[in-house]
Amino acid sequence: MRWESDLKARFEEHWERVKDTGAKIVNARNQFVMSCLEVETDEFRANVERQVKEEHEAALEAWEEGTQVQQSVEGYQRYETVSQFAVESIS
């Protein structure tokens, strides 16, 4: 995904504008990323949806096997944002 190369800097600018409004950073970040994804191509969104499904299936399989999926905080945050987008896109 383009978080580090593109979206992070744009979000930080956005956050500077909204942080004093009482917005929560996680909600603001998720809404920002969602608005960015809305303007992406269908191909890009389909790729995101595919990645989310693959990661979800791997996590579910690991849970069923009793193993733990090791992931960084950044990875979890990315998964959370993409998962939310995928659910809203499919609905």
Q: pLDDT, tens digit, for every residue of 33-63? A: 888 888 888 998 888 888 888 988 988 888 7
Q: Which domain holds residue 19?
A: 3-90
pLDDT value at 13 more than 80: yes
On the question of pLDDT at 69 being above 60, the answer is no
Interval 6-22 mean pLDDT? 83
Query: Mean pLDDT, to the nearest integer, of 7-20?
Result: 84
- Count of the separate structural domains present in the chain: 1
pTM of the full predicted structure? Answer: 0.51
Structure tokens at 33: 């990323």
Mean residue pLDDT across the chain:
77
